């Protein structure tokens, strides 16, 4: 049996959550991460699998029956994960249609998975319908994106276009845009269900006055989505009070689509400008 602490998924999880804390995205016990583990992956590192205990999830997720997740714990500080991963992380397997989770490893102090577990699992189920390779859901509190929700319209198209116009790379990294939820009570099935619906059309979901949810195929991709959006929000806050002299035009954004082989969310850019005569036979 291989040593669990040397498993690539464990090494990467510890590295990423430490980096998230160092970025200031996860103050105190703020934020949570879950990673869907491949069965062939985790069975190399765990002994004959039996449940240490069973934890009620309080929701149903039949699409994830039998799936195993490495997940951060409730009330746990990201800065401590690298020092005591067995206390701050756990590996759980869903059963009974997702209504219960078998603890296979971790939470050795008697703890449990994050209070946002419903939002994570519902988001995993939603994203896997869009992309079966999706394996990660990440939630944190990046200061600039959070601040932006106080001063910017929460209209999803407007919010996305502002971010796209702040950094050339934004439309390349998240061409599907950013979805936005108004403030809702966190840790509930209601916000989990609302987030999952938003995840059907975008990998980034902003929770107004709270933080952001992101989904991706691996931890690096998901971290990078947040990192890019947060940088764009930082630039926006630096210039929002100043007269706008230049911007990245829709024409330029269309050029980026072509150059990098991405497609912006349908209808969120102005129609592409074309050379040659228009419908009236006049040159543009």
Q: In the predicted model, what is the mean pLDDT of residues 193-211?
A: 97
Q: Which CATH architecture has domain 1-115?
A: 3-Layer(aba) Sandwich (3.40)
From start to end of 38-190, where are the E strands? Answer: 53-56, 68-72, 89-95, 100-106, 136-140, 178-181
Q: How does pLDDT run across 19-56, given as a tens digit for each residue?
A: 999 999 999 999 999 999 988 888 888 876 788 999 99
pLDDT at residue 50, rounded to an integer? 81
- Which candidate in 3, 63, 116, 193 is catalytic? 116
Catalytic site includes residue 116: yes
Q: With the CA atoms of 233, 71, 129 and 230 taken in that order, what torsion angle do they form, in degrees rounded to the nearest 10? A: 10
Q: Do domains 1-115 and 133-267 have the same CATH topology?
A: yes
This prediction's pTM: 0.92
Contacts by 250-258, CB closer than 8 A, 24 or more apart: 253/164, 253/165, 253/171, 256/168, 256/171, 256/172, 257/171, 257/175
Parse the chain into domains and list their residue ranges: 1-115, 133-267
153: left (phi over 0), alpha (psi -120 to 50) or beta: beta
pLDDT band of residue 150 (cuts 50, 70, 90) is: very high
Kindly report the CATH number that applies to the domain delimited by 133-267: 3.40.225.10
């Amino acid at each position: 049996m291989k040593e669990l602490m040397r498993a690539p998924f464990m090494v990467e999880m510890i590295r990423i959550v430490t980096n998230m804390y160092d970025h200031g995205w996860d103050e105190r016990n703020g934020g949570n991460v879950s990673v869907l583990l491949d069965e062939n992956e985790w069975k190399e590192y765990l002994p004959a699998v039996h449940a240490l205990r069973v934890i009620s999830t309080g929701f149903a997720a039949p699409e994830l029956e039998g799936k195993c997740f490495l997940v951060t714990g409730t009330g746990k500080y990201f800065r401590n994960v690298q020092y005591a991963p067995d206390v701050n992380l756990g590996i759980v397997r869903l059963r009974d249609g997702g209504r219960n989770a078998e603890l296979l490893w971790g939470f050795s102090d008697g703890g449990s998975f994050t209070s946002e577990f419903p939002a994570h699992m519902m988001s995993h189920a939603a994203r896997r319908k869009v992309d079966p390779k999706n394996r990660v859901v990440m939630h944190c509190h990046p200061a600039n994106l959070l601040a932006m929700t106080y001063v910017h319209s929460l209209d999803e198209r407007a919010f996305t276009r502002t971010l796209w116009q702040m950094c050339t790379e934004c439309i390349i990294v998240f061409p599907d845009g950013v979805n936005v939820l108004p403030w809702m009570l966190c840790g509930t099935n209601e916000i989990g269900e609302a987030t999952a619906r938003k995840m059907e059309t975008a990998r980034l979901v902003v929770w107004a006055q709270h933080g952001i949810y992101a989904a991706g195929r691996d931890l690096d991709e998901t971290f990078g989505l947040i990192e890019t959006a947060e940088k764009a929000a930082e630039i926006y806050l630096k210039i929002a009070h100043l007269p706008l002299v230049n911007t990245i035009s829709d024409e330029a954004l269309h050029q980026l689509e072509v150059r990098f082989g991405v497609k912006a969310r349908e209808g969120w850019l102005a129609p592409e400008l074309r050379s040659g005569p228009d419908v009236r036979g006049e040159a543009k």
